Structure 1
Amino acid sequence: MEIQEIFAANLRRHRQAAGLSQEELAYRADIDRTYISALERCVYSASIDVVDRLAKGLGINAADLLLLPKSSDGQGN
């Protein structure tokens, strides 16, 4: 899994877990909603500043958006 795919999956997962729409997260992070959609679809790559703004909007650490998700077998692969 590429880092862009990991980021996109984590962004969507954390956003949905927080119960936020793309529009609400966009407002909190001061980013255009269509950009968040594009990030979640791997159309664009986020700069480190954007990763930080999104993490703050989600109330998580920026590193959480870059962690490889654990697999269902618990191995992290």
Structure 2
Amino acid sequence: MDIRRLFGANLRRLRDRAGLSQEAVAARMGVDRAHVSLMERGQQNVTLTTLWTVCEALGVHPVELFDETVGVDGP
């Protein structure tokens, strides 16, 4: 499994669950919307710092972004 796709799928799921747009998450993270889009599509390697910033923006624990039970196509 591609860890970037898994992370991206979970990022999108958690963002949707929070009722936030990519723009809103980007603003909370201090990045542009395109960066969030790249992460969600699995086209961006994420640093530990970015991982932590995503968690703070969404109010989740890091483990939730690596949940393999959901899969890359969503629940």
TM-score normalized by the length of structure 2: 0.85
Tell me which protein shows more helix as a share of its residues. Answer: 2
- Which structure has the larger Rg? 1
1:18 aligns with 2:12: no
**What is the alpha-carbon distance in structure 2 between the residues aligned to residue 50 and residue 3 of structure 1?**
15
Aligned to 1:74: none
| Runs of 4 or more consecutive aligned structure 1 residues displaced over 4 Å after TM superposition | none
Per-residue deviation, residues 2-28 of structure 1 (Å, max 9, x unmatched): 211110100000000100000000111
Report the count of equivalent residues.
Answer: 71
More RCO (CA 8 Å, sep 6+): 2
Structural RMSD (CA)? 1.3
With normalisation by structure 1, the TM-score equals 0.83
CA contact 2:4–2:43 (8 Å) conserved in 1: no
Whole-angstrom distance in 1 between the partners of 2:5 and 2:70:
14
